Amino acid sequence: MNEYLAVILIVVIAIIFNNLNTKIRKLEKEVSDLSSKINQKTPQPEITQEATHDEETALPSPSPIYEHRRETITTSKNSEYPSIIQKDWLSPVFEFLKQNILTVIGIFTLVLGIGYFVKYAIDKNWIGETARVGIGLFTGSIIILTGHFLRKNYKTFASIITGGGIAILYFTTTIAFREYHLFSQNTAFVITSIITAAAIALSYYYKSEVLIIFSLIGGFTAPLMISTGESNYPFLFTYLTLLNIGMLAVAFLQHWKSVGWTAFIFTGIYLLYWTVDLPELLSITFYLISYIIFYIFALHNYFRRNELSVPDILMLALINGASIIGLTYIFHEIQYEPVIIFPLIFAAVNTILLFREYGKRNFGISFSVFAGITVSLITIAVALQFKAHLITSVWAIEATLLLFIWKKTGHKIFRTFFNILFPLVIFAQIITWCEYFSAKNLSIIFNPVFLTSLVTIVSTGVNLYLLKNIPKEGEAKSTPFLKILLQLQVMG
């Protein structure tokens, strides 16, 4: 009896969800029509102002009032442009979630309902293990096929349905391998790779950014699903490298920034775990490969349109800082020298791009970004050569770089990252100072603690200079607490 109630409940939820989704689409269309009508009516005040101005020239009436009104309107119009330019780049993500939250809840409800029904049948021993896996694969395929037929009228909904079907295929393969032992690890890996490749192909065919994010999440979590607990890092990162190359190709063809950021976050997590768990020389190769892949991704718009967007600049800063920390840590653990080779190599790459801008006599945002990254990497190389503490030095210089880029571009995302990173610099510096209590036989000046403090103080002084020379409007919006922290850091 319970299974019939479960089926009825799923059908009722699907019907309610479809009705709600239809109403939401109608409301969205009405809102967009109203906003377009409002936007068409907004230019009228400018016409009336021109007319009044012409009348003023004909009649000798006092005009300062009208002139003042025109100036306020034009300044208000001009003040609206920076807010549009500096729009948060995460707003499309939140806008998508607000518009499609019921869709996401609906697909999760559908997946959970099917899972509950299959679990109930398994508990009653109605079907065997092989049949259970077959039902899971069949259900996932049916959901993907349903999304294929719905894609013309309900593009976003069809993409999420297809993503849910792909998720069912992943989890079915995982359960078949881990719980039922129906096939070996190699077979499970081949199946998950085929699912990932098919999902990426469907994403490109449907031109769906949502679907390819689902596919990448499944592709990056597939090794965890079929893991047996044994560490086979070369095989794992060969697979991840191929996945990142596929991501890079799709991102180049469709110009999807979120795809590259999804791959960057997952790759960084895997590299961090490998670095902490087993530092070895082979991991340096995959660090450099990942650096090349994501640097090419970040510079795609730069070579195509000769400009750097906010996500591109942020990735350039993060990939340099994260790679330096990981590679230097590995060199320290396996006791290889010289540790400054990687900051200098990365600085040389950015110097080439810097001279490219200089040769074109283009001293805009791109020139400032490449100059800031180059100077930061050279400073890190000098600090590491004199045995300064790695994390504190890199964080301090990276914070100054973010503040410099914020001043040059005016985008708030860089100030936000600076506000997050600089308190961590102070915390790391306090931990570094604590080494004085347990250290013995330290030289008076040229010791790691003093040199790290020197790097932090110099970078903090640069931060104060940058904050002092920003425009008055930006200064009024800056955080007083942050300036107090900067001054205390210098005095310390």
The predicted-structure confidence for 66-85, as pLDDT tens digits, reads as follows 444 444 444 444 444 444 44
The mean pLDDT of 308-333, rounded to a whole number, is: 88
Average pLDDT value for the chain? 75
Centre a 10 Å sphere on the Cβ of residue 303 and count the other Cβ atoms it contains.
10
C-alpha–C-alpha distance, residues 381 and 378, integer Å: 5
Three-state SS for 195? helix
C-alpha–C-alpha distance, residues 311 and 413, integer Å: 9
C-alpha–C-alpha distance, residues 312 and 297, integer Å: 8
Instruction: Compare 469 and 345 and report the one with higher pLDDT.
Output: 345
- What are the helix (H) ranges across 335-447? 341-359, 365-385, 390-409, 412-433, 435-438
What angle, rounded to 10 degrees, do the helices at 365-385 and 448-468 form? 160
Closest CA to 402 of 463, 330, 338: 463
Cβ–Cβ under 8 Å, residues 226 and 174: yes
Could you tell me the maximum CA-CA distance found in the chain, to the nearest angstrom? 97
Cβ–Cβ under 8 Å, residues 379 and 441: no
C-alpha–C-alpha distance, residues 453 and 290, integer Å: 32
C-alpha–C-alpha distance, residues 163 and 218, integer Å: 9
For the chain, the distance separating the N- and C-terminal CA atoms, rounded to the nearest angstrom, is 73
Over 60: is that where the pLDDT of 172 sits? yes
What angle, rounded to 10 degrees, do the helices at 257-277 and 209-225 form? 20
Closest CA to 223 of 213, 214, 233: 233
Q: How far is CA 24 from CA 10, 28, 30, 191, 298, in A?
A: 21, 6, 10, 38, 36
C-alpha–C-alpha distance, residues 369 and 407, integer Å: 11
Instruction: Compare 113 and 238 and report the one with higher pLDDT.
Output: 238
Cβ–Cβ under 8 Å, residues 377 and 324: yes
Over 50: is that where the pLDDT of 410 sits? yes
0.85 exceeded by the pTM?
Answer: no
Name the token pair of 202.
Answer: 């469907």
Cβ–Cβ under 8 Å, residues 350 and 374: yes
The mean pLDDT of 236-242, rounded to a whole number, is: 87
Q: What percent of the chain has pLDDT over 90?
A: 6
Cβ–Cβ under 8 Å, residues 380 and 396: no
Q: What is the DSSP letter of 211?
A: H
Cβ–Cβ under 8 Å, residues 466 and 402: no
User: Residue 231 carries which side chain, given as an amino acid letter?
Assistant: S
- Range with the largest mean pLDDT of 149-153, 318-322, 407-411: 318-322
Closest CA to 97 of 86, 108, 105, 89: 105
Question: pLDDT-based confidence at 11, cuts 50/70/90?
Answer: low
Question: pLDDT-based confidence at 205, cuts 50/70/90?
Answer: confident
Q: pLDDT tens for residues 372-392?
A: 888 888 877 877 776 667 677
Name the token pair of 417.
Answer: 């990252």
